[in-house]
Amino acid sequence: MEFELPGDEAILPREGDGLVIEPPPKRRLLDLLATWEPLDDEFPEIADEPVKPEDMEQWGRGDLNSPIR
């Protein structure tokens, strides 16, 4: 009989006189990120410009106080 589990790890808990083959619990993203080294890369500054007004007429809602058509 052949067994296949995802990944390359397994847990073998004892159950009575036997062993049960189980996949390990899925890791949480925070657990994975905690194993990574910090990045030393320099990131460019991004200008924090004010939001530009949009013409709502193009979306068919020129008057935002009117009911939706």
Non-local CB neighbours of 60 within 8 Å, separated by 6+ positions: 69
pLDDT in tens, 16-56: 999 998 888 888 899 889 999 988 888 899 999 998 887 76
**What 3 state SS string does 5-66 have?**
CCCCCCECCEECCEECCECCCCCCHHHHHHCCCCCCCCCCCCCCCCCCCCCHHHHCCCCCCC
Centroid of chain to Cα 22? 25
Q: Does pLDDT of 62 surpass 60?
A: no
Higher pLDDT, 17 or 6: 17
Centroid of chain to Cα 55? 34
**Domain boundaries in the chain?**
7-34
Determine if the pTM surpasses 0.85: no
- Give the pLDDT band (50/70/90) at residue 60: low
- pLDDT of res. 17: 94
